[in-house]
A and B are shown apart, each in its own frame.
Chain A
Amino acid sequence: MSSDTAVRASSSAAPTGSGDGAAPPWRSVVRWEGGLVVVLAAVLLFGSIKSPHFTDASTLFYLGINTGYVAIMALPVTFVVMTGEIDLSVASMLGLSASTVGYLWHHGWSIWAAFGVALVVGAVGGALNGVLVAGFGLPSIAVTIGTLTLFRGLAEVMLGSLTIPTLGDRQFPSGLTDIGANSLPGSQLSWSMLIFLVLAVVFGVVLHYTALGRSMVAIGLQPEAAQFAGIRVRRIKFGLFVLSGVLSAFAGILDMLQQASVTYDIGTGLELNVVAIVLFGGVSIFGGRGTIVGVVLSVAIVGSLQMALTQINVSADKQNIVTGVLLLISVIVPNGGEALRRVRDRVRRRTVPRPR
């Protein structure tokens, strides 16, 4: 039952938008992306100044190697977050898929058959997430923490402490592992980065120019209204989790080929990077807001920053701090404005007498 006023009561969860005639959502988005462009310029500047190798031709390639496969996972996670859910199991699925390939390869399978199985595993894992979240209505944070653990655990069961290829194994086909050593002929783009960019275009078109994209935004902003408009909320969420599983599995294959080896713990902890990239790209954790352009800019920023820091020998630990801080910034800044306003209002109420 609705009240006869236009604003909902306060709640402990932060509201999705100010109810006082705020500017249309796209204005704040443009502000965020504009900010990202500035940050990107700053990072590139920082990198070229601080690191002698930053402007080398090969830097772009290594950036692609390091960030491309992670960025590929960020795309479906963006969609998942847009609908108000989250998928923390992506890095573990990466590991499970790579481990599956390693395991099958170890047992003599052909590489392409192993790839096929790994992608199926990705779909099945994604479907598990989908069934539990969309089908049974379980909270996605808890479910994907569970599948995060489960997938990694299964990877561990498969490979144990082995490193594939191990003694007696064939080496991975050099034509494929080449993607880890050589860029696309005629450019400095790594294969993984190319694939990411193509996917980004597809995802961008879907999000901003299709009925499916509109539906996802509606689901994220107001799932009930979406349902009442005939949008198949559960089917879409299920599909997005399956997509996430498949693309994570694909990322696992890429990572494995780039490294030309695999252990069960490959990709451990990458879910943080994925979430950081997505949120830093301006996608709201509450759902319904965000652009693919923002995510691409975020990939560029995070990737170049990591590249620059690695080149000047900043330790992995310090880089963790940086990634964590980026994540915090990406959520504090949009809320910070609101928070400051609230504090200012509270102070104002205490001091200024009310008009009679």
Chain B
Amino acid sequence: MTAVTNRAGRTGGGRAVLAVLRAREVGILVLIGFVVLITTVKNSHFVEANSVQQMLSGAALFALLGVGETLVIITRNVDLSVGSVLGLSAYVVGYMFKYHHIPVWSGFLIGTLVGVAAGVVNGLIVTVLRVPSLVVTLGMLYVIRGIDGVIVNGDQIDPASIPNSFTAVGYRTFLGIPWLAIIVTVVVAIVGYAMRSFRASRELYAIGSNPDAAALAGIPIGRRVFSAFLISGTLAGFAGALFLALHTQINNNGGVGYELIVVTAVVVGGVAIFGGSGSVVGAALGALLLNVINQALVAGRISAFWNQAIAGALLLAAIAFDRWLSLRVTRSLQSAEGAHHEL
């Protein structure tokens, strides 16, 4: 029996396909570059330091939310409550600063804890009660928004009530890069690495890719899905604190509509809405792309009213493109070489 031929090498079909799949992140970067280019032609101020910093800061929160959302969507679920959680968390932190003068670090902690609580509730209802996540998080979106409104009760937290060292996180830069962007990049890097490197995270992909096979393989689906919702909630809570740091004020309208933007960003960024594939890096880039387009409209002096319509069209295009791509990939993999035999 002869030894198997190429050991480290790969068959042409396999390599090419992986390249195509990985190209999504690159594709978004290219798109971002393209948008930046054509906007700069119209308005050279677009690439000035200030403008770039705004783009990065503006995208940072959505990218952070996107990280948690990615984990949830990969398991074939969805978390529509992230915007409300962010808003509630931001207000609670502001409230604590204004009326209880808590230390700065504690602000971040409290915000995160609000998110943890929401994540736990979502996770339990989805995994223990086996309720579809779409409905649960849709309901929670409104329950939390309502609670937020009741607690806020017409109050508003102003910049004056917030300690400077807290808001510093929102506007300070390091070597020209906003702290917000750095923090979020670090989170994305850590989570992204973890998603590739640990058994538990690979099981998330398995759950979304084929839930029946995952059950058969003995994967603790309930536990894993719960963790995904827990992380999503936690990051939304943390993002709420960052929101307050960035915007320096909060009433009862924080984060309204954010969940739709996040889902759009994540899908545009290559996370399949049916689960099983995608990366947090792609999601973060998707958030960046959406924000760049946002700013580009303003800079290009196109009416900002087009924002939502473009976001909607982008999401539809992304889903359709993904489906087309996956059909093409499947077809090419079917005709790619399968098992050979040596004698």
A-to-B contact residues, CB < 8 Å:
9-14, 86, 132, 136-139, 141-143, 145-154, 156-157, 160, 272, 275-276, 279, 285-286, 315-325, 327-328, 331-332, 335-336, 338-339
Partner of A315, one of B132, B142, B149: B149
Looking across the interface, which residue of chain B has its beta carbon closest to that of A8? B212
Q: Which of B128, B211, B309 has the most CB of A within 10 A?
A: B309
- Apart from A12-B221, A150-B316, A317-B252, list 20 A-B contacts with CB within 8 A: A10-B215, A12-B225, A132-B316, A132-B320, A136-B320, A136-B323, A139-B319, A149-B308, A150-B312, A152-B312, A153-B307, A153-B313, A156-B309, A157-B305, A272-B141, A322-B146, A328-B135, A331-B139, A336-B129, A339-B129
A13: chain B residues at CB < 8 Å are: 76, 132, 211
- List the B side residues contacting A145 at CB < 8 Å: 260, 263-264, 315
* A322 to chain B: closest residue by CB: B146
Residue of B nearest to A142 (CB): B273
Which of B145, B146, B148, B316 has a CB less than 8 Å from the CB of A146? B316
Q: Given known contacts A141-B78, A142-B267, A324-B140, is B147 in contact with A151 (CB within 8 Å)? A: no
CB < 8 Å: which of B135, B225, B308, B315 contacts A285? B135
Q: Is B315's CB under 8 angstroms from A149's CB?
A: yes
Q: Is the interface of B mostly helix, strand, loop or mixed?
A: helix
Q: Are B308 and A156 in contact (CB-based, < 8 A)? A: yes
Q: What are the residues of chain A within 8 A of B308 when measuring CB–CB?
A: 149-150, 152-153, 156
Q: A9-B212, A325-B143 are in contact. Are A316 and B312 (CB under 8 A)?
A: no
Q: Are A321 and B316 in contact (CB under 8 A)?
A: no
- Interface residues on chain B, size class: 35 or more
Query: A275 — nearest CB in chain B belongs to which residue?
Result: B138
Provide the bound-state CA to CA distance between A322 and B149, in Å. Answer: 13
B147: A residues at CB distance < 8 A: 317, 321
Is the C-beta of B134 less than 8 angstroms from some C-beta in chain A? Answer: yes
Some 19 contacts from A to B, beta carbons below 8 A apart, are: A11-B212, A141-B273, A142-B319, A146-B264, A146-B312, A146-B313, A149-B311, A153-B306, A153-B307, A156-B309, A272-B138, A276-B139, A320-B146, A324-B139, A324-B146, A327-B135, A328-B125, A331-B135, A331-B139
- Which of B144, B212, B305 is the one whose CB lies under 8 Å from A156? B305
A328 contacts across to B, CB distance below 8 A = 125, 131, 135-136, 139-140, 143
Q: What are the interface flags for B144-169 relative to A under an 8 Å C-beta threshold, 1 for contact and 0 otherwise?
A: 11111110000000000000000000
Partner of B129, one of A86, A150, A317, A332: A332
Cβ contact within 8 Å between B315 and A321: no
Q: Complex: how many Å from CA A316 to CA B130?
A: 30
Are the C-beta atoms of B315 and A153 separated by less than 8 Å? no
In the complex, are the beta carbons of A331 and B211 less than 8 A apart?
no
Q: Given the known inter-chain contacts A12-B221, A150-B316, A328-B125, please indicate yes or no for A320 contacting B142, CB distance below 8 A.
A: yes
- Docked-complex contact B149 and A325, CB < 8 angstroms: no
Q: B274: CB under 8 A from chain A?
A: yes
Residue of A nearest to B317 (CB): A146
Cα of A315 to Cα of B211 in the assembled complex, Å:
42
B91 to chain A, nearest CB (A): 12
Which residues of B have CB within 8 Å of A319?
A: 146
B214 within 8 A of A: yes
Closest CB in chain A relative to B313 CB, distance in Å: 6
Contact A143 B145 (CB under 8 A): no
